Structure 1
Amino acid sequence: MKGNGDSGEVIVVGSGVIGLTTAVVLAGQGRRVRVWTREPAGETTSAVAGALWWPYRIEPQERVGAWSLTSLRVHEELAARPEETGVRLVPGVHAGVLLDGLGPWARQVADLRQLPADEVPAGHGSALAARLPLVDMPVHLAWLRARLEAAGGAVETREVRSPAEAAAEAPVVVNCTGLGARELVPDPEVTAVRGQLVLVENPGITSWFTAADEASSATTYFFPQPGRLILGGTADEGHGASAPDRVPDPATAAAIVERCARIRPEIADARVLGHRVGLRPVRSKGVRLERDGEAPAAGTQLIHNYGHGGAGVTVAWGCAYAVASLLG
């Protein structure tokens, strides 16, 4: 028996890394895909992400491992063309992390190793070394869009107030709206976790570093990207999507620079290039990736793919292929 999506027409709502990656995978399977987006990809939360591959603060654990590894394999291939795709394999250190405390997925990450005590950064009891995908998000989002368009897909600027609007034009709708799902579905489990970053001139740092205390809203990390060094960060819960929540706080920025300079002192004197704030779409019940039992219109399918928090780039390809499998 054929499914409702066999006409091949799909509307993906949302143009962040989740939406565009999903659209690329579906278009690659021969489907006619349109992405409807309220804002250009360059203005989404994805555009201001760090963005290091690592399954950080994302649930459900029983599904995240497989999604992450699928994405890792794709990123490893894309890293062969970094100028085109924005993906590079970069060495670095996760401070305060024990290999034994990670899920089974960690055993399939090449070169992931526990550092001996004499190599652990000062102030931390443990650390892991790894060579992982680091993604220049503006470049990567532009590459995804170009790949989608090359496959016959299109991106259209259009605000969607309900899934039924999209279902009126295509038999399959994939909801990748991130924070927007709170109102679109509606799903009150979706909340914004505010992340602030500082962009500085790179004083010669070639490796990344992270130290995240899951009990604290303050994190410490720096990621070397072409033309800049990204410093972070914060994970402030309880925020909305209003304009004030998107305004960088000078005191927070100064604290970020100070924390990063404790690890690499040369950061203290690096010239500031700019500030960024992103609102991560966190869902208290974990990522929602499933077919909705209530179709928005007769003969249509609605598939949800949202709630990835700050780990969108880590699971994007795995989740995209999971969506494709739901369509058969």
Structure 2
Amino acid sequence: MSGDMGGHTGGHTGGRSGDVIVVGSGVIGLTTAVVLAGRGHRVRVWTREPAAETTSAVAGALWWPYRIEPEALVGAWSLTSLRVYGELAARPGETGVRLVPGVEAGSRLGELGAWARQVPGLRELGPDEVPGGYGYGLAARLPLIDMPVHLAWLRGRLEAAGGTVESREVGSLDEAVAEAGTGSAAGAVVNCTGLGARDLVPDPDVVPVRGQLVLVENPGIGSWFAAADKASSTSTYFFPQPGRLVLGGTAEEGDRSPEADPATAAAIVERCARIRPEIADARVLGHRVGLRPVRVGGVRLEREREPGGARLLHNYGHGGAGVTVSWGCAYAVASLLA
């Protein structure tokens, strides 16, 4: 295992920079914890549920800046993550990251931010190159992350750097701030609670956006496909993951139902089969539902206050693009603590 992530996570900087409590163990929390541990902080992750039970574990997890703001910051965060994933893809079995070719249908380069010009190999397609009658689209070889494997790898990285993951339900952020302030004058808390921030902060601008997926046996599909329907709450995508093909999806704002809806599942399969007909006969392996932590106004990444010497930082509201910006946001948090 690489000791320094090719220079991205870094090693210990020579002595601890202070104790940090990271609240939340999804991809945002664990990535933040890994980066901070690499900067010399002693990091404790407090989590109400194991990473395998978070929304992150359900994600289809293609790198792509999807439904996330603020636009002025997202590009840089996304490109930082893209560079890290490019390195991790050298060890896919260990990290869960692979570079996979695919098509983003219904998108043009001119509609995207400046970040798109820095994505290696991203190119526009002609009408005859885009399936499903979309007429235009983009092709790229992008990171596709097997989230259960990746979350386990992140935890392993954290623990190897001396960090810990503790099962602990947080009643208020003040509780974490108080504990962080007792151990070190430079102590800090980083709030990475995703949807939980709605009640914990509290922040009423955080809203759940429900996503439903269908897992099927892969009938031999080696590339990904994605097309968002801008006029509805549905999208069409399939991502080849080890041992399964992930089909999606939905984006239902305000819907908190954790149960998979059979009619929605059937519609997802039907939409995907219009692109690749062999999907219609693929055996269903299971269903997944996740609640994306979308925040009106975009990601909140800032330092709020310094009561009694313990700093409180926020890193939440990443919606359906947590994987896409996780490393970029983690380094931004580290900069705020420097």
Distance 2:173 2:61 in 1: 30
Alignment of 1:259-298 (within 5 A): 259-292=271-304, 294-295=305-306, 297-298=307-308
Q: Deviations over 1:92-111 (max 9, x none)?
A: 00000001111110111001
Q: Give secondary structure in 1 for the equivalent of 2:21.
A: strand
Q: Deviations over 1:131-168 (max 9, x none)?
A: 00000000000000000000000000000011111112
Aligned to 2:166: 156
Give, in angstroms, the shift of residue 298 of structure 1.
1.5
Asked if 1:306 is matched to 2:306, the reply is no
Give, in angstroms, the shift of residue 125 of structure 1.
2.3
Distance 1:117 1:255 in 2: 25
Aligned to 1:74: 84
Alignment of 1:84-99 (within 5 A): 84-99=94-109
- Return the match for 1:30 from 40, 51, 54: 40
Distance 2:92 2:230 in 1: 31
Alignment of 1:241-260 (within 5 A): 245-260=257-272
Q: Deviations over 1:177-208 (max 9, x none)?
A: 00000000000000000000000000000000
Asked if 1:45 is matched to 2:55, the reply is yes
Aligned to 1:3: none
Give, in angstroms, the shift of residue 120 of structure 1.
2.0
Distance 2:283 2:255 in 1: 29
Aligned to 2:6: none
TM-score by length of 1: 0.95
- Return the match for 2:213 from 197, 204, 215: 197
Alignment of 1:114-125 (within 5 A): 114-125=124-135
Give, in angstroms, the shift of residue 7 of structure 1.
5.0
Distance 1:214 1:179 in 2: 23
Distance 1:173 1:13 in 2: 7
Larger CA deviation: 216-225 vs 231-240: 231-240
Distance 2:324 2:203 in 1: 23
Equivalent pair of 2:132/2:274 in contact (CA under 8 Å): no
Question: Structure 1: which amino acid aligns with 2:172?
Answer: S
Give, in angstroms, the shift of residue 269 of structure 1.
0.3
Distance 1:81 1:214 in 2: 35
Aligned residue pair count: 317
Q: Deviations over 1:286-323 (max 9, x none)?
A: 0000001x44x421110000000010000000000000
Asked if 1:317 is matched to 2:338, the reply is no
Question: Structure 1: which amino acid aligns with 2:279?
Answer: I
Equivalent pair of 2:210/2:252 in contact (CA under 8 Å): yes
Runs of 4 or more consecutive aligned structure 1 residues displaced over 2 Å after TM superposition: none
Distance 1:105 1:315 in 2: 12
Give, in angstroms, the shift of residue 215 of structure 1.
2.4
Question: Structure 2: which amino acid aligns with 1:259?
Answer: R
Question: Structure 2: which amino acid aligns with 1:49?
Answer: A
Q: Deviations over 1:249-283 (max 9, x none)?
A: 00000000000000000000000000000000000
Asked if 1:225 is matched to 2:241, the reply is yes
Equivalent pair of 2:127/2:134 in contact (CA under 8 Å): no
Equivalent pair of 1:121/1:127 in contact (CA under 8 Å): no
Aligned to 1:207: 223
Give, in angstroms, the shift of residue 19 of structure 1.
0.1
Give, in angstroms, the shift of residue 248 of structure 1.
0.2
Aligned to 2:142: 132
Identity %: 79
Q: Give secondary structure in 1 for the equivalent of 2:171.
A: coil
Aligned to 2:199: 183
Distance 2:202 2:106 in 1: 37
Equivalent pair of 1:203/1:267 in contact (CA under 8 Å): yes
Aligned to 1:102: 112
Question: Structure 1: which amino acid aligns with 2:315?
Answer: N
Distance 1:34 1:154 in 2: 5
RMSD over aligned Cα atoms: 0.9
Give, in angstroms, the shift of residue 118 of structure 1.
1.8
Q: Give secondary structure in 2 for the equivalent of 1:174.
A: strand
Distance 1:213 1:142 in 2: 33
